[in-house]
Structure 1
Amino acid sequence: MDGRAEDSGRVYQSSGDQYITEHHHHDPRATGSAGGGGWPDSVRRPAIGRTPVVLRDRADVLARLREAVESARGGAVYVLHGMGGCGKTAVAYDLFQIATREFGRIGLWVNASDRASLRAGMLAVAADRGAGDGELQAARHGYRPAADLVWDRLDRSPDPWLLVLDNADDPAILRDGSWLRDSPGGIVVVTTRRAAARWWPGALLQHIGVLPRDDAARVLCDLAPHSGTLEQAALIAERLGRLPLALTLAGGFLAQQVIDPWTLDTYGRHLEQGERVDLIDQGADGLTGDDPRHLVGRTWQLTLDSFEANGLPEAVGLLRLLARLAAEPLPVSVLNRPDIGAVLPPARAEAALTALLDHSLGQLVDLGVRCVHCHGVLLDSVAAATPAEEVPVLDATAVRLLDASVPAQPDAGPYDPRLRLLAPHALALLRRSGTRGSSTGEPRGAEPGNAERESAEPESAATTADVLAVATRLAVALHRTGDYLSAWETASAAATLAERALGPEHRGVLAARSRTGRSLFRLGRYDEAEALLRQTRAAQQRLFGASDPDTLDSCHALQLVLGNHGKREEAVILLRSTIAARSLVLGPGHPATLRSRASMLTLLTAPELAAEDGGTLLELSEECVRHLGPDHTVTLNARHNHARALFVLGRFPGADAEIRRAIEQYEQRFGPDHPAVLSARQLRAQTVAALGDRETAVAIMADVTARRKQSLGADHHFTTVSRDLLGAMRSGTWQPPPPYAG
């Protein structure tokens, strides 16, 4: 088909693995939605960047797929595989239109390029197929099997459907969560670069290759009709490996030249110059073997050269900077910082970003905050072509930008979806920086001689350590908003990635492992948390000493697990030693010291509370106010735990007044569903029951149990405790502790 563009119009011929994922983040407290932030705006429309006008040379493939969607049968899984940019997404898009428009199937489209996007998209599918808010809330926070929920809803769907899992280039993501299944209710189509049959047991595999010569030439002519003849286009198409994505980008580049338009011959001469052409020439031959993302990298290099030639080198620097991060939405505010000056003048950042957007090298997306989103193939290709001497400055700049975007002192607060947006970028930078060098594996710590080792550490390992510190602090911030699943995923992945460059006994790696253990505890995975924290604490104690702040952090975390895991006596012993060491090293008024002392209020029995420091422990909340102020998180926690201690001592009126005060402050800070609020309200139910108002107590406990079931899942330890307490109150078998007369 010969197509021409007029005025500002464009004709698009083919599409590769380009996609747009649009997220909208909403506060569940305001919307009542269990989904929360991070879901795609729609799974009913294919989230792809460019839709082909005509799909060339795919008739045989579409004919086979058409037969599947035309029949009323389900249960089939089709895997479209091939090199990146071959048009797998374009084939899936055409099939999607056929299935929905001609045969009335429900069309569902999910970006499966990474774990977060797949999870969000599949939960949106579950919502589309009728899942309730409670089910979605529990699945989102990882407290019930999310994949089981999704496939149960798909199996029970009253309408036949077609589900497309696009850009599933890491099959392990699908396998680990059991996200890919067959169903009698519909047909699944997967697009991927991974062709090995072992990844797709039971699926029907279909290879998608490059375009024939004539069809490839027509792609260039349709996009840039004034740049040359069909034969000239055929020559360029061959040099580009007849890869649809490379052809689309090359044609778009030629069409956008205004001041000094290039012809196809000019484009061809640039392809022949220098080493940059090597990977492009292998495009048609590299369907297996090396990562095919690298085979189209030099196509974008021509655009970067054009930026340089036209006096806009800042766009090159910005794209290379973005290529150190992830192929996920990045808040534009991250780029609006003075630290970017090492790569490009801050005053030129706006013009540079505009140039990238104008050349289809990025897109603006709205997630409640403006973000720039670049395609993964583009970023990987640019990263591979970035001059090695520029990489250290780019990595150091990216670290500083992310560091400035993460709270310097993470504090407890309501769920903040913006924090999640930063996590994939920190991990991507950690992955890239960790491949630039290796260290001796020797730990960095407080032991003698460590400063000399640090100064001799390779630059890449030092950068990795800096990124790791940012990622760990981000995990802390996520944890303290109650997003324990994201905190665990971030800390665990950061530790694993950094360990390759820094070694398992590096101080930062061990700190990330400790944060991982804390989040495992909050997720109810006590055995895993205890084992990891014991191992980490032992390593820190051996390397840094028993009184090192990092060692003491792990001690505090471990006693939390032990106290909730039926090992109270060991927890008390460990906590006493932690308090003593923190008081000596940090001082008695330090927040960490006061936090540990507040934990003691939750572990002691009535006689122990009365005897502890002559009863001065019961005055801890006032001490926290003097040192930290009345609104500090540790002060609020101490007030909560003080109410618990009064309850254990049988001082019910005082306990009730204190916990009501704590609940009011908690709800103002965190909202009604934060774990700290639910814990405080459970104690309130007990104080009310102890004061004789069993009806009110049962109502409070019923609400707490329902909220914990929704957010944590029915089998979480905290949910079980709440459910048992509710049952005892309803039956009248629950009894408050007797007043302590000692």
Structure 2
Amino acid sequence: MSDNEQRIPLTFAEVYRLARAAGAEMVPPFDLKHGLDELSAWIDREVDIVEEADGGFSPAALRHSQLELRGRRDLLEELATLARRPAGEGPAVLVGTGGAGKSTLAAALAERARSWGQQVWWVSAADPAGFSAGLTRVIRDLGGSTTDMESVANGAADGPDRLWRLLERSSSRWLLVIDDADDPWTLAEADSPAGIQDGTGWLRASKRGLVVVTSRETDPRMWVKARLFVVGHLGTADAAQVLRDLAPQAGDDTEARNLVRRLGGLPLTLHLAGTYLGSGVAPSPSFAAYDRALGSRTGTMVARTAEIALDGLAHQGIPQARALLRLASCYAPTSIPTRMLSISGLQEALDGLTGVGLIQSGSAAITLHPVVTDTSRAHLEGSEVWHAAVAHLVGALQELSYDQPECWPEYRLLSQHLLALLDTAAEYGDNKHLALLADATASVARAFNHSGESGAAGRLCRTALAHCAALGEEHPAVLRLRHQLAWTVANRGDLTQAEAIYQDVLGIRRRVLGDSHPDTLRSRHESGWIASLLGRWAEAEQLYRSTLRDCLLHLGPDSRDTLTTRHELAYAIARQGRIDEAEPIFEEVLRDRRRVLSDLAPQTLQTQHALAWITARKGRWAAAEVRYRQLLGLRQVLDADHPHTLLTLHELAWTLARQGRRAEAETIYRQVLERRDRTLGADHPDTETTRWALDELRHGRVVDAVHFA
């Protein structure tokens, strides 16, 4: 959470309620003496997972929101009135400087909304991938179709309309919190010249629910159609009470007020100061001593409070806490995996920083306040720490595989840290580390493209190309970025532009790297792929054959790239009617993919599916039926509505109809039509294909299935 720092002890009832809100089916047994400690530890494990993997409501903020809500009760009540009975007003936008407590206020409102039975979503707008993923989850929860989700994931212009149609049809009231929207243009419709002002983007008025936005952008001209709520500093009395609540032994009310006059009323600095004084780390834990320490320092108040805490930790024998905070500040503030924070004495440093409120620490990740990140980043001396941060991120990405669905959430998480490093590349980067970041971006974009988030992939590639321009247009890493960008353009449906990018990249790679370099071979393969998408099958076949010869020579027969080219060559041959020629190629590819990958690898199942279709095309209907049923058994791990499952069922119905078992075929076609209509939409080409096949079957005619590679 961006505007929260210190955790405070919760009552038994509060912890139990949070456990239930986080989705716990049961609470572990505990005795009265140790119950809160055990349950808090359980919350640390389970709730942190909910936050990072689910992206929904963030209950961790409520661990310490009660203190931060001091002086905010009237504002919370006003927001609660809007949320409980929406009257069609514009979105509520909480604006203020970093550290003012905007996200804490939104989290408290979200807790209220949940207690009323409202559906609550929490979406971060801090980075494109996270924003896209969060909105996609909202659509999924609302029962949206695959087309709806793909529209948002790909950044299509109709994405906001699709989301809002679903929100307005929701059977229950809802609250949508969009956190960290410091750039209001993120919330605008794609390519809208009016930003959010035209009311066609992600922010709209509704009588079914309320959108709440938190932002550091305080210019009211950016929020013309919104209800603006300024979250400012606390008054002296409330601020002094915050200090006394956090450090009750540090002094009386007068001394607390004196310190407030020095600190100001920003909740973040109050919590840093109070938490430090109450942590047991301070050598002189009094308000008066802290006031004197502040007077001997320069810089922003957040910087001064942070440095006092770091000095206190060093005095306690934990000097590495400062190095850890500097390293963490190179990344995005939220969910930094601890495995990317490799320093000596890591756990001791984590415990120390958590104790003084500079970080929130979970089981496998930490979170910083964005202002603390900015402050600590300003203290970086030279580029050594930044270079280490790049190396750790690259190492984490190398552990992942772009085509494995279980890795995609991790790619999404790491993408925000990649963007943070790119934002500071001009200041700290040399060509070596710029190239590492460019390659890392290409890797993440490749995973996004495979997962269907080509919109996020395109934005990542364009951002990296802008930051890495110093490498020059012929640098291999820049060409890899452009290669992935072309894929996103093709997925968007602009095949002509995609082909132009691919051809330009291919020309440079041939000139700079040579015709047989692995990157050049990938460009040559994509030239065949684009030709096939454009229906130029004979040209695609020749391009695949030429590429395959050099893949076999330079990459070897077991390379994934070689196997992919062999598979798509077979398909290009089949699409030209030469089924007998394509079948043995597919069989060889299947055998090799099973050996090199696995029986259940997506690429292996893709080839097995192609062979089932080939068998049917040859009129061997019973044998094709057996293959399709085997394929369905192997795809049991997929959801019943997954497009691959539905395609397999559609083609199984085709084989049954061809065997004269029309009643069975009609039953399956109806099932597929219902699922495709629900998940893809009535006007999706796949839905229309099944509807046509079903209508024809009812009139005594069988429609042959056209399989795609």
TM over 0.5: yes
What is the deviation of 1:327?
Answer: 2.6
Question: Structure 2 matches for 1:390-539, cutoff 5 A?
Answer: 390-407=384-401, 410-412=402-404, 417-433=409-425, 435-437=427-429, 460-477=430-447, 479-480=449-450, 483-485=451-453, 489-490=456-457, 492-494=459-461, 496-501=463-468, 502-518=471-487, 521=490, 529-530=498-499, 532-539=501-508
Cα distance in structure 2, aligned partners of 1:265 and 1:623: 76
Task: Kindly provide the amino acid, as one letter, of the partner of residue 270 in structure 1.
Answer: A
Cα distance in structure 2, aligned partners of 1:590 and 1:99: 53
2:39 match = none
SS for the counterpart of 1:385 is coil
1:362 match = 359
Q: Does structure 1 residue 694 correspond to structure 2 residue 670? A: no
Q: Does structure 1 residue 78 correspond to structure 2 residue 92? A: yes
Task: Kindly provide the amino acid, as one letter, of the partner of residue 302 in structure 1.
Answer: I
Spell out, residue by residue over 1:106-126, the C-alpha distance to the aligned partner (whole angstroms, 9 max, x if none).
584634443555556656666
Aligned residue among 559, 562, 571 for 1:602 = 571
SS for the counterpart of 1:83 is coil
Contact preservation (8 Å) 1:624, 1:630: no
2:318 match = 312
Aligned residue among 343, 350, 372 for 1:353 = 350
Contact preservation (8 Å) 1:301, 1:382: no
Q: RMSD value over aligned CA atoms?
A: 4.6
Cα distance in structure 2, aligned partners of 1:690 and 1:672: 24
Structure 1's 64 and 371: CA in aligned 2 closer, same or farther, altered over 3 A? closer
Contact preservation (8 Å) 1:76, 1:186: no
Spell out, residue by residue over 1:541-591, the C-alpha distance to the aligned partner (whole angstroms, 9 max, x if none).
454344432232233234334424434344334323322332343244543
Aligned residue among 365, 376, 380 for 1:382 = 376
Cα distance in structure 2, aligned partners of 1:623 and 1:67: 64
What is the deviation of 1:599?
Answer: 0.8
1:170 match = 183
Contact preservation (8 Å) 1:23, 1:41: no
Task: Kindly provide the amino acid, as one letter, of the partner of residue 586 in structure 1.
Answer: L
Cα distance in structure 2, aligned partners of 1:109 and 1:638: 40
Task: Kindly provide the amino acid, as one letter, of the partner of residue 356 in structure 1.
Answer: L
1:183 match = 206
Cα distance in structure 1, aligned partners of 2:702 and 2:62: 58
What is the deviation of 1:260?
Answer: 2.5
- Which has the higher mean CA deviation after the structures are superposed, 643-652 or 544-553? 643-652
Task: Kindly provide the amino acid, as one letter, of the partner of residue 257 in structure 1.
Answer: G
2:560 match = 591
What is the deviation of 1:85?
Answer: 1.5
Cα distance in structure 1, aligned partners of 2:324 and 2:309: 13
Structure 1's 46 and 526: CA in aligned 2 closer, same or farther, altered over 3 A? farther
1:453 match = none
Spell out, residue by residue over 1:163-200, the C-alpha distance to the aligned partner (whole angstroms, 9 max, x if none).
55443223222224722111234554433110223422
2:4 match = none
Question: Structure 2 matches for 1:549-628, cutoff 5 A?
Answer: 549-605=518-574, 609=578, 617=585, 620-621=588-589, 624=592, 628=596
SS for the counterpart of 2:366 is strand
Structure 1's 256 and 649: CA in aligned 2 closer, same or farther, altered over 3 A? same
Contact preservation (8 Å) 1:484, 1:519: no
Task: Kindly provide the amino acid, as one letter, of the partner of residue 406 in structure 1.
Answer: L
Cα distance in structure 2, aligned partners of 1:71 and 1:630: 54
- Which has the higher mean CA deviation after the structures are superposed, 715-724 or 134-143? 134-143
Contact preservation (8 Å) 1:430, 1:467: yes
Structure 1's 540 and 650: CA in aligned 2 closer, same or farther, altered over 3 A? farther
Contact preservation (8 Å) 1:595, 1:638: no
Cα distance in structure 2, aligned partners of 1:374 and 1:199: 27
Spell out, residue by residue over 1:571-625, the C-alpha distance to the aligned partner (whole angstroms, 9 max, x if none).
3343233223323432445432232121122222577626859x86365347636
- Which has the higher mean CA deviation after the structures are superposed, 639-648 or 298-307? 639-648
Spell out, residue by residue over 1:384-436, the C-alpha distance to the aligned partner (whole angstroms, 9 max, x if none).
223325424532442354135324xx455667544433332333334334542
Structure 1's 435 and 54: CA in aligned 2 closer, same or farther, altered over 3 A? closer
Structure 1's 256 and 542: CA in aligned 2 closer, same or farther, altered over 3 A? same
TM-score by length of 1: 0.73
What is the deviation of 1:317?
Answer: 2.7
Task: Kindly provide the amino acid, as one letter, of the partner of residue 514 in structure 1.
Answer: H
SS for the counterpart of 1:205 is strand
Gaps in structure 2 of 5+ consecutive residues: 1-7, 12-17, 26-49, 191-200
Cα distance in structure 2, aligned partners of 1:611 and 1:639: 16
Structure 1's 559 and 132: CA in aligned 2 closer, same or farther, altered over 3 A? same
Contact preservation (8 Å) 1:212, 1:242: yes
Task: Kindly provide the amino acid, as one letter, of the partner of residue 353 in structure 2.
Answer: L
Cα distance in structure 1, aligned partners of 2:655 and 2:113: 60
Aligned residue among 705, 714, 734 for 2:702 = 734
Cα distance in structure 2, aligned partners of 1:107 and 1:711: 21
Structure 1's 302 and 126: CA in aligned 2 closer, same or farther, altered over 3 A? same
Contact preservation (8 Å) 2:140, 2:149: no
2:193 match = none
Structure 1's 659 and 558: CA in aligned 2 closer, same or farther, altered over 3 A? farther
Structure 1's 251 and 711: CA in aligned 2 closer, same or farther, altered over 3 A? same
Cα distance in structure 2, aligned partners of 1:733 and 1:315: 74
SS for the counterpart of 2:93 is strand
Task: Kindly provide the amino acid, as one letter, of the partner of residue 315 in structure 1.
Answer: A
SS for the counterpart of 1:388 is coil
Cα distance in structure 1, aligned partners of 2:543 and 2:413: 37
Aligned residue among 131, 151, 165 for 1:152 = 165
TM-score by length of 2: 0.76
Cα distance in structure 2, aligned partners of 1:245 and 1:730: 69
Cα distance in structure 2, aligned partners of 1:412 and 1:354: 34
- Which has the higher mean CA deviation after the structures are superposed, 82-91 or 71-80? 71-80
Structure 1's 612 and 195: CA in aligned 2 closer, same or farther, altered over 3 A? same
2:194 match = none
- Which has the higher mean CA deviation after the structures are superposed, 671-680 or 502-511? 671-680
Cα distance in structure 1, aligned partners of 2:668 and 2:489: 28
Structure 1's 693 and 517: CA in aligned 2 closer, same or farther, altered over 3 A? farther
Structure 1's 472 and 10: CA in aligned 2 closer, same or farther, altered over 3 A? same
Contact preservation (8 Å) 2:62, 2:108: no
Cα distance in structure 2, aligned partners of 1:595 and 1:700: 31
Spell out, residue by residue over 1:691-742, the C-alpha distance to the aligned partner (whole angstroms, 9 max, x if none).
333333344444445555555555555555455444444444435499xxxx
Question: Structure 2 matches for 1:232-243, cutoff 5 A?
Answer: 232-243=255-266
Contact preservation (8 Å) 1:66, 1:98: yes
2:54 match = 39
1:321 match = 327
Q: Does structure 1 residue 209 correspond to structure 2 residue 178? A: no
Structure 1's 595 and 685: CA in aligned 2 closer, same or farther, altered over 3 A? farther
What is the deviation of 1:323?
Answer: 2.1
Cα distance in structure 1, aligned partners of 2:705 and 2:139: 45
What is the deviation of 1:251?
Answer: 1.2
Structure 1's 182 and 215: CA in aligned 2 closer, same or farther, altered over 3 A? same
Cα distance in structure 1, aligned partners of 2:610 and 2:125: 44
1:285 match = none
